[in-house]
């Protein structure tokens, strides 16, 4: 097995976490160990208790928030171009396209997430 006492202590901690069924904590420690044995333990833990997956609702919420953020920032840039005459019209056009696209994506993902 592993010769490094620090790594051995980490494996002991992982074993204790698995014994208490704290699989998420065990996975977290194993990710920080650069050893083939850690990858083997990760596979065993995944077989015992598969890692949680994002639900569709969560994925849609994340996409919606990102799209609203992009649309909001683009809208701010669009309005900011009216205060500075040196900004090119292409920046204003790109900002409005990004704003519309961001809000459209947010709207669609929001509707899909409510299904």
Percentage of the chain exceeding pLDDT 70: 90
Of the candidates 61, 63, 97, 64, which has an alpha carbon nearest to the alpha carbon of residue 78? 97
Structure confidence by residue, pLDDT tens digits, 68-78: 888 888 878 77
Mean pLDDT rounded to a whole number for the chain? 81
Q: Please give the pLDDT value at position 55.
A: 66
Distance of CA 28 to CAs 3, 51, 70, 86, 103, Å? 21, 11, 31, 51, 36
* Local confidence band at 67 (pLDDT 50, 70, 90 cut-offs): confident
C-alpha triplet 8, 12, 18: angle, nearest 5° = 140
Q: Which residue has the higher pLDDT, 28 or 78?
A: 28
pLDDT at 40: 92
Between the alpha carbon of residue 65 and those of residues 3, 47, 60, the distances in Å are 47, 33, 9
Residue in the block written with tokens 């919420």: 61
Which residue has better confidence, 79 or 1? 79
Tokens of 39: 């990858």
């Amino acid at each position: 097995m592993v010769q490094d006492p620090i790594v051995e202590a980490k494996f002991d901690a992982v074993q204790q976490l698995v014994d208490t069924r704290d699989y998420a904590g065990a996975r977290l420690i194993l990710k920080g160990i650069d050893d083939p044995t850690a990858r083997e333990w990760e596979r065993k833990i995944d077989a015992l208790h598969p890692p949680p997956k994002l639900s569709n609702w969560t994925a849609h919420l994340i996409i919606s928030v990102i799209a609203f953020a992009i649309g909001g920032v683009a809208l701010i840039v669009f309005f900011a171009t009216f205060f500075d005459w040196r900004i090119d019209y292409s920046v204003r056009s790109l900002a409005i396209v990004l704003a519309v696209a961001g809000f459209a994506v947010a709207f669609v993902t929001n509707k899909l997430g409510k299904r």
